[in-house]
Amino acid sequence: MASKHMNLKRISHRIKEEVGSTVEVANVVGIRGAFATFRGKVDIQIMVHNGHIEHPWIKKHLIKKHEAMNAYFERTCTKVTEERICDIKIPEQDENYKGCIWICWWQGLENAPDIVKKCVESIRIHAGNHKIVIITDENYKEFVAFPTWLEEKYKRGIITKTHLSDLLRISLLARYGGIWLDSTFFCTGDIQPYFDMPVWSIKRPDYRHVSVACGEFANYSFGCTTEYRKVFAILREYLLDYWEHYDYMIDYLFLDYLIVLARKQNDYVNQAFNEIIPNNKNCDELLKVLGTTFDSSEWEKLKDNTELFKLTWKAAFPIEQNGKETFYKKLMNNELV
């Protein structure tokens, strides 16, 4: 009963948030734009339940949503000026954390679901000489320093762990460089080449349009060299500016909108993102078959130009289907190589 109550409470809270967001967008870009954003969010939920199939009419609606939200952010977010960018101080590279792989599991990896542990283990196998740092509730302040007002908003629940994770990944790269990977990445190959790119993210041009990124970048995977830390320092200014002025998340993927805004307003950031080479084209495909019967030929196809597969800890997967082992069982048995 308590679980049902909490689910109803969560649902009612989300409905209240979405209604509030729609009203706010209407106040800035008009009712037509607000309707486009609301319809786009409905279409995203349809995709969640239809196997993430993006029908042409859904794509059209999502593009209109992004147009409206881009206009919203352009009108409400303070431009990070050239003077402000010039004032950004990039610290000396800390050699102890140069070329690190940053992963976060707030509760500590020992308390993570088994699939997360397997994913992190797979990254360790292919990390080479790169140090892996697990960020938790207990140690994040050892690596980044957030303004007092932001920490207060975090304590009050205005900024959730999801929001703080956005700030964390951007801030870590602005301070140290290296690569950020979400804890649910399953790795099957060498990731060293990504460390050599000035700025890196998983890139699949004209991919699905759920995010305004449209495959040009993916906020669960970022990286940069020492020399390009300023790209993320600039993005950090956009994030801090947003949370300094607002106490709510206007859109679940608002970080992507802020990155698009930063690219539009700053040639340095835009050029760095433009130079990312397309990579990991099948990043989302393993998740789609994880609960199905393992097929070695299909697995070889999935690994084509793909070393990183984005999975989830929020779903359960069978270990067998019709008496045969699934991709999930192979993964958990360390046999998915």
Angle at 47 between CA 43 and CA 50, to 5 degrees: 130
Contacts of 77 (CB under 8 A, 6+ apart): 238, 241, 242, 258, 261
Say whether 253 sits in a helix, a strand or coil. coil
Which DSSP letter does residue 208 get? -
Q: What is the mean pLDDT of the chain?
A: 92
330 near 294, Cβ under 8 Å? Answer: yes
Packing angle, helices 56-76 and 31-49, rounded to 10:
130
What local confidence, expressed as pLDDT, does residue 9 receive? 61
Q: Phi-psi bin for 206: left (phi > 0), alpha (psi -120 to 50), beta? A: left
Q: Sign of the CA dihedral 209, 215, 216, 220?
A: positive
Average pLDDT over residues 63-69: 95
Structure tokens at 181: 């990977």
* pTM, full prediction: 0.92
The residue whose two tokens read 């088994």 is: 114
What digits encode the pLDDT tens for the residues 110-152? 999 999 999 999 999 999 999 999 999 999 999 999 999 999 9
Domain ranges of the chain: 2-76, 91-274
| Measured torsion, CA atoms of residues 158, 115, 189, 121, in degrees rounded to the nearest 10 | 90
Give me the DSSP letters along 277-291.
Answer: PPB-TTTTHHHHHTT
Q: What's the pLDDT at 72? A: 95
- What span, in angstroms and rounded, lies between the C-alpha atoms of 206 and 297? 27
- Mean pLDDT to the nearest integer, 227-235: 97
What CATH number belongs to 91-274? 3.90.550
Q: Write out pLDDT tens, residues 259-278.
A: 999 999 999 999 999 999 99
* pLDDT at position 82: 83
Please state the rounded mean pLDDT for residues 250-260.
93
For the chain, the straight-line distance linking the first and the last C-alpha, in angstroms and rounded, comes to 42
| Alpha-carbon dihedral sign for residues 181, 226, 146, 170 | negative
Give the helix/strand (H/E) hosting 76: helix 56-76
Rounded distance between C-alpha atoms, residue 1 and residue 160, angstroms: 25
Select from 259, 269, 307, 267 the least CA-distant residue to 285.
307
Q: What is the pLDDT of residue 1?
A: 41
pLDDT at 10 over 70: no
**DSSP assignment letter at 164:** H
State residue 84's pLDDT score. 86
| 63 within 8 A of 93, measured Cβ to Cβ | no
Ranges assigned E (strand) in the chain: 101-104, 132-135, 178-181, 185-187, 199-200, 221-224, 308-310, 320-321, 324-325
